[in-house]
A and B are shown apart, each in its own frame.
Chain A
Amino acid sequence: MEEFISYLFIGLGNGAVYAMLGLGLVVIYRSTGLLNFAQGEMAMFATFIVWTLADSGLPLWLAMFGGMFGGFVIGVVVHQVVVRPVGDPHQKPLAVVIVTIGMFLGFNALAKLIWGADDKTLLNLFGRSGIDIFGTEVAWQKLGALAVLAIEAVIFWMLFQRTKIGLAMRAVASNPESSALCGIPVTRVLMFGWGLATAIGAVAGTFTAPITAVSSNLMQLTLIYAFAAITLGGFDSFVGAIVGGLLVGVLSDVLPRYVDFFEKMPLAPAFILILVVLLVRPEGIFGQRKVSRV
């Protein structure tokens, strides 16, 4: 039992990080209508900015905010310079998706070029100590990830449901042409969406880095888990990204400890989950089936 609780919280803590990256994927999917395969690499790039700032002596929290700002700028630039010129993803989705795969490779190479191929270390945001829960030591870092995810969820909800820019983002996601006719500056709204998605990627990266190391491969596994998370929860649902992320985290950390089959293949639960969800409920648990009368 104690063992299970320990694995459970490790899973929840890791799942919170998948959910954070998943939130970024959902923001882009909802605003631009495409799956951004470069999401993880853009987050990795922003995490290198966090590392650079932390390495120059800034407290880690401040460095993370700096990385978020850097990520925001990266997202805006990527949208303006790379994504937008390719064309409307609603009309030629394949072209834009392939461009995001190109960006995946580009960011990976660029990070190696700027920061070198050797691993860098980033410390835990919440230190190395833990707290006793039901007789098991649970790391503050894992609880901290959950808390940060909760804060992000509240901010997202407020932003999308209670602000004008949020309304504009929802409108543009559903019908960019009509949104423009209603006076919404569509391009600026999309820029903001890409900035936002990359900014929270910096947070996800800051939580991933202490487990592995800061390297150009930092977010690749996390991205696969995040894809599993939003497939499970629904590509267009913020709640889905959070619930999906936590579920995928728990499954991937708990199952391999108890099922021999998964012991050698820790990624397998995530892939099996993607497969089953796509077969049974393609829109995901919280995803919307489009209802409309023409």
Chain B
Amino acid sequence: MSLLEVSGLTAGYGIVQVLFGLDFTVDAGEAVVILGANGSGKTTTLRAVSGMIASSGDVVLDGQRVTNSRPDELLRRGVAHVPQGRGTIVDLTVEDNLRVGAYSRPAGDVDAEIARWYEVFPRLGERRSQAAGSMSGGEQQMLAIARAFMSRPRLVLLDEPSLGLAPLVTREVFDRVGELVRDTGTAVLLVEQNANLALAFASRAYVLEAGRIVNAGTAAQLQGDESIRKAYLGS
């Protein structure tokens, strides 16, 4: 049984339907990417899974149907969502952002865990009492990811971490998340349009076009796929 099983997922905004029956799965500890161009429905997919927008179809977590559960309920079940544009709480300090990430957990060992994150991302430690909004995009992305992991999730939904970041910074973010996934055994469902980076990061991939999944396979298979090379890899 997969950790996350999605079938027939449809969603949209008002009368505009964006997703037309998606099926995909994520296993425990696995990194999966949904590739897609701008406007293909990547962000909508994650928003529908985490209950930020209404959807129909089945979102099944650990065999339990959680379709349309509120985001805070899903978080308590182990699904953390790093939204598009990072979603750092800009008026709060870096440290308070991390504390917010641990909101669903008992207070006990939160301080120790925050200290650990400062070791993983020293920049966050240096800026712990600074407003999160004053940091650079890459630093805020690291903060958003660290904050998501503060809830000890089993699955992290990661929405286009490369957005608005310089290529070098993007690569570093992917490297760090890759390490985190390996070290903690947390599953990641990534949506991206940077196919090069995403296929190197994930083990399996789905390709989303205009709200439908048009291709799926292992990352290696898709890297070799002619249509993918044309559409995303530029050669």
**Is B one of A's binding partners?**
yes
Known A-B contacts A181-B50, A183-B151, A292-B133; the reply to A175 vs B80 at CB < 8 A is no
Inter-chain CA distance A293–B70, complex, in Å, is 29
Does A174 reach chain B (CB closer than 8 Å)? Answer: yes
Q: Say yes or no: B103 contacts A168, CB within 8 Å.
A: yes
Does B228 reach chain A (CB closer than 8 Å)? Answer: no
Does A120 reach chain B (CB closer than 8 Å)? Answer: no
Does B181 reach chain A (CB closer than 8 Å)? Answer: no
Inter-chain CA distance A8–B50, complex, in Å, is 57
Inter-chain CA distance A94–B133, complex, in Å, is 27
Interface range for B: 35 or more
**Using Cβ atoms and an 8 Å threshold, which residues of chain A touch B80?**
181-182
Does B211 reach chain A (CB closer than 8 Å)? Answer: no
Does B88 reach chain A (CB closer than 8 Å)? Answer: yes
A-B contacts counted at CB < 8 A amount to 89
Does A291 reach chain B (CB closer than 8 Å)? Answer: yes
**Using Cβ atoms and an 8 Å threshold, which residues of chain A touch B52?**
177, 180-181
Known A-B contacts A167-B99, A180-B72, A291-B133; the reply to A174 vs B92 at CB < 8 A is yes
Does B125 reach chain A (CB closer than 8 Å)? Answer: no
Does A170 reach chain B (CB closer than 8 Å)? Answer: yes
CB within 8 Å of B: which A115-167 residues: 164, 167
Q: Identify whether the interface residues of A are mostly helix, strand, loop, or mixed.
A: helix
Does A49 reach chain B (CB closer than 8 Å)? Answer: no
**Using Cβ atoms and an 8 Å threshold, which residues of chain B touch A175?**
87-91
Does B197 reach chain A (CB closer than 8 Å)? Answer: no
Q: Say yes or no: A183 contacts B133, CB within 8 Å.
A: no
Does A10 reach chain B (CB closer than 8 Å)? Answer: no
Q: Residue-by-residue, is A102-116 near B (CB-CB < 8 Å gives 1, otherwise 0)?
A: 000000000000000
Q: Say yes or no: B75 contacts A293, CB within 8 Å.
A: no
Binds A, one of B12-20, B26-34, B111-119, B134-142: B134-142
Q: How far is the CB of B202 from chain A (nearest CB, A)?
A: 22
Inter-chain CA distance A294–B87, complex, in Å, is 10
Inter-chain pairs besides A181-B71, A181-B83, A290-B90, 14 sampled, C-beta below 8 Å:
A167-B100, A167-B103, A168-B103, A170-B92, A173-B91, A175-B87, A175-B88, A181-B50, A183-B75, A183-B76, A183-B151, A293-B133, A293-B135, A293-B137
29 A-B residue pairs with CB within 8 Å: A164-B103, A164-B107, A167-B99, A171-B92, A171-B96, A173-B91, A174-B89, A174-B91, A175-B87, A175-B89, A175-B90, A177-B52, A177-B83, A178-B88, A181-B50, A181-B52, A181-B81, A181-B83, A181-B87, A182-B104, A183-B103, A183-B104, A184-B103, A290-B91, A292-B90, A293-B137, A293-B140, A294-B137, A294-B164
- A residues within 8 Å of B by Cβ? 164, 167-168, 170-171, 173-175, 177-186, 288, 290-294
- B residues within 8 Å of A by Cβ? 50, 52, 70-72, 75-76, 80-83, 85, 87-92, 96, 99-101, 103-104, 107, 131, 133-137, 140, 147, 151, 164
